[in-house]
Structure 1
Amino acid sequence: MFNHFSSLRSKIKLVFSITLLLLAILFIGSIKYDYAKYDELNEARERAISHYLYHYYLKTGKIDEAYLESQNVSLIKDKAKVIQIERYFKEKGKYKKYAVDTFRLQRIILINNDRFKLFLENKNRPKYPLKRIAVFTIVFLLIILLYFWVIRSLRPLSELKNKIKTFSEGNLNIQCASDKHDEIAEVANEFDHAVNMIRELLQSRQLFLRAIMHELKTPIAKGRLMSEMLPDEKSKQRMHSIFERLNLLIDEFAKIEKITSKNFKLKLKPYKMSDLVEASIDLLMVENPGRLVSIEIKKDYIVKSDFELFTLVVKNLLDNALKYSTDKHVIVVIDSDHLDIINKGEALKEPLEEYFKPFHTSKGGLGLGLYIVKSILDIHKMTLAYRYEEGKNIFTVR
């Protein structure tokens, strides 16, 4: 229940609802108090009329009808009506020396003493509380207008929340500056300033990285040309492979830069896991990959992924597995809905989550490898798990 009123808007609604409820209770209570006060005065007036008529009759031997008229009270003379009223009072057990009751929406006074018996109709009615209703209506409308005014002043907060959500999804092209002078406008302006600063920092970072990658491509291209001039074919192939590897690494860094800056759109298509693994092994650019990586297909399956990014994930996992394997051999197992990458070696010294941090610096750490893997798997809504069994490290992509 309390969670339902956790938002500021809900709390404001609750406060105004309670205020309106208390106002309604106060209005109804004041009306009832007025009616109770009127009934008390009316009953006292009726008893005073009864006493006056009795004393006047003792003096003059007749009823002072002029006085009754001045008090807005009339003497009921219709015999048939008198009989009906008398029967009504007897049925209700109110046929006494003095009684008051309502008969057919008329307030009837019975005076039955040793001198006379009268049925009087009291025509006085409580006044309609127009002034009170007018005051309460004005207050009610003011509270309603105040409520809408407060809710409207919170509208920029909802817009700011949506812009913050858009910003968190990677869209840096947002404007949330406000020309108002309230606290929400101050928050919006500070956030807009922060967005501009972050945008400028990211742009300078991207420019710096792209400039470095661009500058690196020139010497790599020259190196490839120079390697073509080597007389020894084996040395030429080796140098060519090295420069191809460097070129591929720069392309990977470009992809990583886009992923980490949230400036990347996935191109999801269905692929066989076995095809993705084969493509990942090709990215390793090693001679005779069959002696380094063994593939065991228990049950192949289709996975919807971005081909370039997912192969980069598997390639990084294979790279790390080979690097830290004691026998320089990795086994890849494809089974139904997951992919296992297995190597012999020492167990990880820390929980897997620690290696997801960029530039992890523990002894034998995995550098940027698992950070890149985690970033790509996150945008694919996939998970990476780790376990150590019988001297083997097992990384599972699920």
Structure 2
Amino acid sequence: MKRWPRINNMRHSLSGKLVLLFVLMAFLFVIFVGSGFRFFINHHFKDNVQPHIVKYLEYVLADLGSPPDPQRARQLADELNLEIHIINQQQQWSSQGQTIDLTNLRFKHSHTVNQRQYNLVEYEGSEYLMAKVDNTTLLFTVPRLRPERGTLRGWLPFMILLLILFLLYHATRRLFAPIETIQAGVKRFGQGDLNHRITVNRRDELGELADNFNGMAADIQQMLEAKRQLLLAISHELRSPLTRAKVASEFLDNEKQKSQINRELDEMEKLIEELLETERLTTRHTVLNKTRQDLNTLIYEVINSYFVANAVELDMPTDAIKIEIDATRIKLLIKNLIDNALRHTPADASPPRVTLQKNVNDVVLKVTDQGPGIDEKHLPHLMEPFYRADASRQRETGGYGLGLYLCKIIAEAHDGRLSITSRTGEGTAVTVVLPC
């Protein structure tokens, strides 16, 4: 299949299917008409033409005399464009100088006129009418009645048919060419290029379809832009009072209350950030700011920025692992996974481990903790928004149930995947696979 991509595309293209349908219908039509025409010609030849030919040969036999005169046969062969053979015990004469072996004749059918039997026979690809006069056998044929096989004239209809099919295929390809343009435009728009519009200079249904798509694309772009502006407004309106509340908390004299209020405000700010980021990534039209980044460097940056006071084990290769990613969102994914592992790791347990592995076609990031683990019944739902295995929702177990869901969306936005494995009492491992 890969060796012949053009043939494979033709098999699945609309124009190719139309040409194939035309060829099939033309083939059935030719078979039907040809069979009927051949049936008609055979019956017409047998009932109308053959008796005249036999009667014509009756006059030729009478003109040759009995016994047949070879000199008169030569004159008739030249005048009538006939091939005549005279065979008896005394001689074997041919107007073509050809010797015919009567034992190798293939009989086809016979016809009787005036009590004389004429047999249609075949010898070395040529057909003859054979008659007997006394002890002499005569064979007649008209050699140029049918076109010779193997000549260019015989192949000419097939060559014309191939030319017609070739022109028909390219005509249908040209007729349906806008479909490929529309398909490519829809794909680009679906991949996030909201400014793309389809240009089809046609006034038929395909041109109307392209215009309708462009109108729909403009409406969608306008709605998404309104949604983006709304998110920016919500982000500003929610963060502004949180900032004022943080500033006001600094004037509190009770350090315990100040610390508790700041912790609550941080949780609220994190929730707002996760909600907004989740909303941005759940749309298919999100455009990632992908650049070639070293995952080793990103992991170190996250740990140095957020977890410098925490113990985290690292198992990463010494060589750089560079792939095309959105650095900001991948750093958010790494931060959420490490934060989630630290939150569920008891103080007396081994610290969480971050493992990075480079394969042929992908990169595997794995964050493992030695926490209490998760019951198997909760695993299928952990990546659902706002789902928490801890039904008590105590704050020390942390979060609002958006962290893993957001990590899953970030991984899928990079054409990757996220999976969770856990055993009660043995800890939990979250694995992210990203394509190279």
TM-score (norm 1): 0.67
Q: Aligned to 1:347, which of 366, 370, 374?
A: 374
The whole-number CA distance in structure 1 between the counterparts of 2:83 and 2:228 is 102
Distance in 1 between the 2:82 and 2:12 partners?
63
Distance in 1 (CA, whole Å) between partners of 2:406 and 2:348 is 23
Aligned partner of 1:367 in structure 2 is 401
Q: Any conservation in 2 of the 1:322–1:329 contact (CA below 8 Å)? A: no
* 2:299 is the counterpart of 1:276: yes
Could you say which residue in structure 2 is the equivalent of 1:173?
195
* 1:264 Cα offset (Å): 2.4
Find the aligned partners of 2:378 and 2:189 in 1 and give their Cα distance. 31
Q: Residue 220 of structure 2 corresponds to which residue in structure 1?
A: 198
Partner of 2:22: 16
Give the aligned partner of residue 181 of structure 2.
159
Could you report, residue by residue, the CA deviation over 1:244-291 in whole angstroms, capped at 9, with x for unpaired residues? Answer: 777777666665555445132123311427x6166247437xxx943x
- Structure 1 residue 47: Cα displacement: 2.5
Structure 2: how far apart are the matches of 1:138 and 1:88? Answer: 39
Letter paired with 2:236: H
Cα distance in 2 for partners of 1:385, 1:126 equals 77
User: How far apart, CA to CA, are the structure 2 residues paired with 1:77 and 1:167?
Assistant: 82
- CA pair 191-329 structure 1, distance change in 2 beyond 3 A: farther
Is the 8 Å Cα contact of residues 76 and 120 (structure 1) preserved in structure 2?
yes
Cα distance in 2 for partners of 1:349, 1:108 equals: 92
Does 2:89 match 1:72? no
User: More helix per residue: 1 or 2?
Assistant: 1
The gaps in structure 1 that reach 5 residues or longer are none
1:120 is displaced (CA, Å) by 5.7
Offset at residue 13 of structure 1 (A): 3.6
Percent identity among equivalent residues?
20
Match of 1:263 in 2: 287
2:314 aligned partner, one-letter code: I
The alignment partner of 1:331 has SS state of: coil
Change (3 A) 1:121 1:225: closer
> Within 5 Å, which residues of 2 pair with 1:379-390?
379-390=413-424
Distance (whole Å) between structure 1 residues aligned to residue 214 and residue 119 of structure 2: 79
Contact 1:334–1:340, Cα closer than 8 Å, also in 2: yes
The TM-score with structure 2 as length reference comes to 0.62
Is the CA contact 2:119–2:129 (under 8 Å) kept in the aligned structure 1? yes
Distance 1:6 1:354, change over 3 A: farther
Q: Please tell me whether residue 296 in structure 1 is matched to residue 313 in structure 2.
A: yes
Shift, 1:332, TM fit:
1.6
Equivalent of 2:353 in 317, 333, 336: 333
* Offset, 1:202: 1.4
Matches of residues 121-270 of structure 1 in structure 2 within 5 Å? Answer: 122=142, 125-126=145-146, 148-176=170-198, 180-182=203-205, 184=206, 187-223=209-245, 226=248, 258-261=280-283, 262-270=286-294
Paired amino acid for 2:425: G
- SS of the aligned residue for 1:388 comes to strand
Distance (Å, rounded) in 2 between the aligned partners of 1:300 and 1:108:
91
Q: CA 1:316/1:206 → structure 2, altered by over 3 Å: closer, same or farther?
A: same
The one-letter code sitting in structure 1 at the alignment partner of 2:22 is F
Distance 2:85 2:257 in 1: 137
1:344 aligned partner, one-letter code: G
SS at match of 1:272: helix
Evaluate the alpha carbon distance shift between residue 269 and residue 195 of structure 1 in structure 2; reply closer, same or farther with a 3 A threshold: same
- For 2:193 and 2:338, locate their aligned partners in 1 and report how far apart those are by CA, in whole Å: 33
**How do 1:31-70 residues align onto structure 2 when only pairs under 5 Å count?**
40=46, 43-53=50-60
SS at match of 2:235: helix
- Asked whether the 8 Å contact 2:127–2:141 carries over to 1, the reply is yes
Specify whether residues 201 and 159 from structure 1 end up closer, same or farther in structure 2 by C-alpha distance, changes over 3 A only: same
- Checking the alignment, whether the CA contact within 8 Å between 2:128 and 2:141 is kept in structure 1 is yes
- Please give the alpha-carbon distance, in whole angstroms, between the structure 1 residues aligned to 2:401 and 2:222: 27
The CA distance in 2 between the partners of 1:97 and 1:86, in whole Å, is: 24
Name the CA shift for 1:230/1:29 in 2 (closer, same or farther; >3 Å): same
Paired residue type of 1:283: Y
Q: Is 39-48 or 96-105 further displaced after alignment? A: 96-105
Size of the aligned set, in residue pairs, is 382
**How many Å separate the matches in 1 of 2:12 and 2:125?**
52
| Alpha-carbon distance between aligned partners in 2 of 1:172 and 1:272, rounded to the nearest angstrom | 34
Structure 2 portions without partners, runs of 5+: 2-7, 107-115, 149-154, 358-364, 394-398
Residues 280 and 117 of structure 1: CA distance in aligned 2, closer, same or farther (over 3 Å): closer
Cα contact 1:343–1:393 (8 A) shared by 2:
yes
1:88 equivalent in alignment to 2:104: no
